[in-house]
Amino acid sequence: MEGNVKEFGLADVIQFISTSQKTGVLLLDHHTDTASIAFARGDITAAVYGRQGKQDQLQDYLFRSKKLDPETIQKLAQIQKDTNLGIDEVMIKEQIMTEEELFGVIAFKIQEVIDDIFTWSDAHYKFDAQADLYSKSRTKVTIPPATLLIETMRRKDEWPRIKMAIPSEDIVLLIKPDGILPYDALPEAKQMMEFIDGNRTISEMIQLSGFGRFRTFNALFNLFELGMIERKVTESAALPPKPKAPSPVLKFIGPAATVMATAGIVLILLTASLFWGYKVSLLLDSKTNLVEELLLKSAQSKYRQEVEIYKMINGRYPAELKQVVKDRRYVDLLVYEVSGDGQSFDLKIVERK
């Protein structure tokens, strides 16, 4: 099983592996990044992300997020070398983490990998039925792919509004001096406050917090909404733009030429206002409301996602659209058709006369 996510979507690839109850590793390549997702009888058991040829191991994450100090990491590495045990088993035996805590960390990292690879629009994939991840590991996490995919879809819906407030990982943030953190703020938001020092970028905070990319952005967005933080303005951005020097030609234009130019501009503006006034009146009188059309197309896209999620869980598309959609305001403005075997569907906007 091999191909590109352009031709066969990543969700479809994962769903096929799940429904076929396959065991092996799905390998993905995207430019300089890679990802590996391990399956056991269709369930996801592990995932590793590689950036520029370097894979992000469990102990690396625990160290970066300050869950383990350098001395403990070194101690674990030595024990692992001496005993040839998996790092997870060593941590449990040394009572560094409980099995439940380790399960939580592994599940969290798997979700982060899934989130990242779903941002890839072009990636080569290959399923290797003979491969295995963490063969020495005895901490076996088994997660149904549908559970992870539903959360991934939810996060994808959240990203656009988060990105409007925080468009880049290179931004540096400041805590407002008059900000008061309310009691109902997200727990992650409260913890993120200690990482905001006016010097760290969001990229650095992702590494330090251990929350992962989405949860870090989401926590910071929560702080933005609460009015607790603001972007740090760099000196170059704070300086007002220098006024442009007047053109040498304009210095020598006589008063008469200036009057003629002004009259010409006024004439152009009057003509344009008459023309566009006519156009605007046509637009207002039109039966098609542009805003409504945009909202309808947005609803169509949202409904498609909900239908796809339904199929991931149930193995077939729903018989009726109303079975799955939560917001039904636009259901009657769309035509939903599903094949007899429930394996394909079409969702069209009703043509208006």
Instruction: Give 309-342 pLDDT, tens digit per residue.
Output: 677 667 788 888 888 876 677 788 888 999 988 8
Predicted local confidence at residue 129, as pLDDT: 92
Does any domain span residue 236? no
Of 154, 186, 221, which one is at a domain's C-terminal end? Answer: 154
- Note the pLDDT tens digit of each residue in 110-124: 888 888 888 888 899
Residue 29 banded pLDDT, cuts 50, 70, 90: very high
Domain count for the chain, please give it. Answer: 4
Predicted local confidence at residue 20, as pLDDT: 92
User: Is the same domain home to 311 and 220?
Assistant: no
User: Is the same domain home to 255 and 138?
Assistant: no
Domain hosting residue 255, numbered range: 248-282
Is the pLDDT confidence value at 55 over 70? no
- Mean pLDDT, rounded, for 233-245: 55
Strands 24-30 and 124-128: antiparallel
Predicted local confidence at residue 234, as pLDDT: 65
9: left (phi over 0), alpha (psi -120 to 50) or beta: beta
Does any domain span residue 208? yes
Predicted local confidence at residue 39, as pLDDT: 94
Residue 24 banded pLDDT, cuts 50, 70, 90: very high
Does any domain span residue 131? yes
Does any domain span residue 95? yes
Distance CA 278, CA 272 (A): 10
- Note the pLDDT tens digit of each residue in 251-284: 444 555 555 655 556 555 555 444 444 444 444 4
Is the pLDDT confidence value at 22 over 90? yes
Residue 21 banded pLDDT, cuts 50, 70, 90: very high
Residue 295 banded pLDDT, cuts 50, 70, 90: low
Predicted local confidence at residue 28, as pLDDT: 94
Mean residue pLDDT of the chain comes to: 78
Predicted local confidence at residue 27, as pLDDT: 94
| Residue 117: closest CA among 139, 85, 149 | 149
Predicted local confidence at residue 286, as pLDDT: 46
